[in-house]
Amino acid sequence: MIPTAFPPREEIARLTARALLEIKAVHFNAATPFTLASGLPSPTYIDCRKLISYPRIRSALMDFLTVTVLRDAGFEAFDNIAGGETAGIPFAAFVAERLALPMTYVRKKPKGYGRNARIEGAMTEGQRVLLVEDLTTDGGSKLSFVDAIRETGASCAHTAVIFYYGIFPETTRRLADHGVALHHLCTWWDVLAEARAQGSFDAATLTEVEAFLNDPRAWQAARAAK
């Protein structure tokens, strides 16, 4: 069913942050930083995949993502909803169900046998495709998925995510340069504010997390050098 309630963006951000904290998808550790895929350290880590195991929260956030896209992009803006392998696949399915649209998914690389396909499902030339993912950091991984979609003759000018880091200024510019608009529910700043409001972590940890969010590259460089 297509959601018809459009909560204010600030309320969507707050409730999404609260939900992520509630299911312990948010991890802060300043003493022993996490290592990101880039090899750089970070005092923050988020696991949006956990959402699929919490049906009430999952349903609310998928309603939020759907109405965010409808409000930002338009009610008749898409013909196909594509999920990025692998984390984006379930969320694309939930959004496609709400919008009553076909769903497809995009592989990170060609299959390597058979049709050697990157697109699974039915995607046709001229379709307007929304790319759905769980999160984005600097937007880099989205570009490969967008290119694979465009190679079919379809268009892809929008991507929607549950969580956007919101600390790397080049992200939206990189996507915009590729002709893609980003839609999201909340950022690290929203999570930090809600974590403070709830007292979810000790004050020292939250202070260190804020230092990282204010200048992540400098924070990483200082610790990577140790």
* Torsion on CA atoms 135, 217, 171, 141, rounded to nearest 10: -50
| Burial label, 226 (beta-carbon count in 10 A; 0-12, 13-18, 19+) | exposed
State the residue range of the domain holding 96.
Answer: 9-224
What pLDDT score was predicted for residue 141?
82
For residue 3, tell me if it sits in a domain.
no
Q: Which two tokens stand for residue 187?
A: 């950022």
For residue 1, tell me if it sits in a domain.
no
DSSP letter, residue 33: P
For residues 61 and 19, the answer to whether their CB atoms sit within 8 Å is: yes
For residue 2, tell me if it sits in a domain.
no
Using DSSP's 3-state secondary structure scheme, residue 30 falls into coil
What pLDDT score was predicted for residue 225?
60
What pLDDT score was predicted for residue 115?
67
Task: Give me the number of domains the chain comprises.
Answer: 1
What pLDDT score was predicted for residue 222?
86
What pLDDT score was predicted for residue 151?
95
What pLDDT score was predicted for residue 137?
87
* Strands 128-136 vs 119-120: parallel, antiparallel or unpaired: unpaired
For residue 142, tell me if it sits in a domain.
yes
With CA atoms as reference, report the closest residue to 210 among 184, 191, 197: 191
What pLDDT score was predicted for residue 2?
84
For residue 74, tell me if it sits in a domain.
yes
Q: If you compute the radius of gyration of the chain from its CA atoms, what whole number of angstroms results?
A: 18
Q: How far is CA 89 from CA 18, 55, 82, in A?
A: 23, 16, 8
For residue 85, tell me if it sits in a domain.
yes
Q: Is 114 left (phi over 0), alpha (psi -120 to 50) or beta?
A: left
What pLDDT score was predicted for residue 226?
59
With CA atoms as reference, report the closest residue to 123 among 78, 180, 175, 160: 78
What pLDDT score was predicted for residue 136?
92
pTM value is 0.94
For residue 136, tell me if it sits in a domain.
yes
Q: What is the mean pLDDT of each run of 10 residues along the chain (226 residues)?
A: 89 98 96 82 95 98 98 97 96 98 94 76 97 90 94 97 93 94 98 97 95 93 74
For residue 4, tell me if it sits in a domain.
no
CATH number, residue 54: 3.40.50.2020
